Structure 1
Amino acid sequence: MDAFSIPLELQDSVASRLQDMVLETSDAEEFFQELAIFSASLLSPRGAEIFCNLSVVRHKKPVTVACSTARARTMDELQYAFGDGPGLSAMRTGTSVHVPDVSREHRWPQYIRAVADHAVGSILAVPLQLEGASTAALNIYASRIHGFAGSDIARAELFAEQSSKTLRLGLRLARLQEARDNLEAAMKGRTAIDVAVGVIMAQNRCSQEAALAVLRKASSSRNAKLRDVAAGVVESVSPNASLLTHFDE
């Protein structure tokens, strides 16, 4: 990889833009989407149309976390359906995979035939370094054959190196956001149950244990979650009630 294929001032500009993305996006999904769009804009060879996506393998399952166009997502879904392709190979081996001419490519024959039907001429998949067992790839598709010169490949690899740290941070933010959402849901569910128990105790003049037993019986008979039954009880006595926890903003 030739770092000088991208001028130093542009490298600094790219690093600054990646940092801004983390700070300016409101959640992980928006960050990944901005990264895919920025990748397509930065890496487009002169006079060529390209589209990009970001693929991540976590817990042995590949997923597309963002794409610059719907067409790019389709290319990834084809890889997942056939179980292999340039992006999956790049993630598995940790090395870039270049398909200069789809019509002459003999690897992954089923996938290549399907891709050719979508007017893709060439493909470049560049791995991104993540943490632990997680792997990722930046998949770049060009409509024309030989869409990526050697300098384009070097440029994409340098960009992947720069964006890997930002992507790792984005994935950490996604995990933190998921944990926060799960905890918030659990806390709100617990609040609904506590309030519903109080309502049943007041209505039936019974103990806390007896009120909770009533809720559990209703949950079992309706095949519904306990917190959903509890929320229904609260709604029945106070339709406009808002159950607050310390997570509410």
Structure 2
Amino acid sequence: MESEFSGTELTTVFARIHGMLLSRESATSAVEQLAEVAQDVVDSAIGAGASLINDQGYTMSTGTTDAVAEAGDTLQYELGEGPCLSAWATESLQRVDDTATETRWPAWCAGVLPLGVRSAMSAPMLYKGHCIGALKVYTTTADGFTAADERRLSLLAAAAATLLGAAQTSEAPHQLSQALRTALTDRQAVDVATGIVMERRGLEQHHARVALLEASRAQGRPLLEIARSVLAGSPDAEF
């Protein structure tokens, strides 16, 4: 069994993020630095990203180390699914051992597989019991992460959350609402609603899912509520 973090590892991780300027104006710079540190902390990572996300699901600041990581992150936000969003929604680490066989986020996996991404991992950044964002790393090999990698990324996320959370000028909680949290985990209702939107509007699956997500944000309603209105609504219902 792999050992827990040593004092040296703890010191190294904290040293890498010490001295970051964490004012609201430098949030973008901070997440860019965090992405770089995340890639360095996880030896097998070929790319990494860091995102600050508010309680409505909007990314306030995001940073990536390379084009592949940027594409992987962007695809998650467009589709409304993926390990980063789930880490944020569930406030727990999410790990994909192989995008070729992963079934939790089929659309996202199908999108990143051609980019060469085979493994992915994301850790939530929790501050005072609220999730303010997530760190994520990517590899080009299946089963690319170890238990030690999980601990390193989780430790970095915890330390980063403390620094970033303390720098916020508002004490408003950056936590996913319970309704939206439920919506993101209720795959069946959303999938069926996606199929209805595909048929009704003549859209591909990806664009139908984006339409639901955009409606959720525009109306300030949970995704599951939007999906259920589609399931029960009339053909001309707005969603």
Moved >4 Å (runs of 4+): 131-134
Aligned counterpart, 1:54: 50
Counterpart residue identity of residue 80, structure 1: Y
C-alpha contact (below 8 Å) 1:90/1:97 kept by paired residues: yes
Three-state SS of the structure 1 residue aligned to 2:92 is: coil
Structure 1 116/61 Cα, relative in aligned 2: closer, same or farther at 3 Å? same
Once the two structures are superposed, residues 36-90 of structure 1 have per-residue CA deviations (whole angstroms, 9 ceiling, x without a partner) of: 1111112223xxx421111222141332521111221111111111111111011
Aligned counterpart, 2:173: none
Q: Does residue 1:11 correspond to 2:7, yes or no?
A: no
Please show how residues 198-217 of structure 1 align to structure 2 within 5 Å.
none
Structure 1 90/72 Cα, relative in aligned 2: closer, same or farther at 3 Å? same
C-alpha contact (below 8 Å) 1:122/1:143 kept by paired residues: yes
Distance in 1, Cα, partners of 2:16 & 2:34: 10
C-alpha contact (below 8 Å) 1:37/1:67 kept by paired residues: yes
Three-state SS of the structure 2 residue aligned to 1:114 is: helix
- Unaligned stretches of 5+ in structure 2? 171-239
- Unaligned stretches of 5+ in structure 1? 176-249
C-alpha contact (below 8 Å) 1:50/1:141 kept by paired residues: yes
Distance in 1, Cα, partners of 2:144 & 2:56: 31
Please show how residues 75-114 of structure 1 align to structure 2 within 5 Å.
75-114=72-111
Distance in 1, Cα, partners of 2:66 & 2:125: 20
Please show how residues 100-249 of structure 1 align to structure 2 within 5 Å.
100-130=97-127, 135-170=132-167, 172=168
| Structure with the largest fraction of helix | 1
Aligned counterpart, 2:33: 34
Distance in 2, Cα, partners of 1:122 & 1:134: 23
Distance in 2, Cα, partners of 1:17 & 1:98: 24
C-alpha contact (below 8 Å) 2:52/2:134 kept by paired residues: yes
Counterpart residue identity of residue 34, structure 2: L
Three-state SS of the structure 2 residue aligned to 1:56 is: strand
Shift of 1:124: 0.5
Structure 1 17/152 Cα, relative in aligned 2: closer, same or farther at 3 Å? closer
TM-score (norm 2): 0.63
TM-score (norm 1): 0.60
User: How many equivalent pairs are there?
Assistant: 169
Structure 1 13/134 Cα, relative in aligned 2: closer, same or farther at 3 Å? closer
Structure 1 13/109 Cα, relative in aligned 2: closer, same or farther at 3 Å? closer
C-alpha contact (below 8 Å) 2:88/2:131 kept by paired residues: no
CA RMSD of the aligned region, Å? 2.7
Once the two structures are superposed, residues 133-186 of structure 1 have per-residue CA deviations (whole angstroms, 9 ceiling, x without a partner) of: 65311111111111101221122212222222122245x27x7xxxxxxxxxxx
Larger Rg: 1
Report % sequence identity. Answer: 26
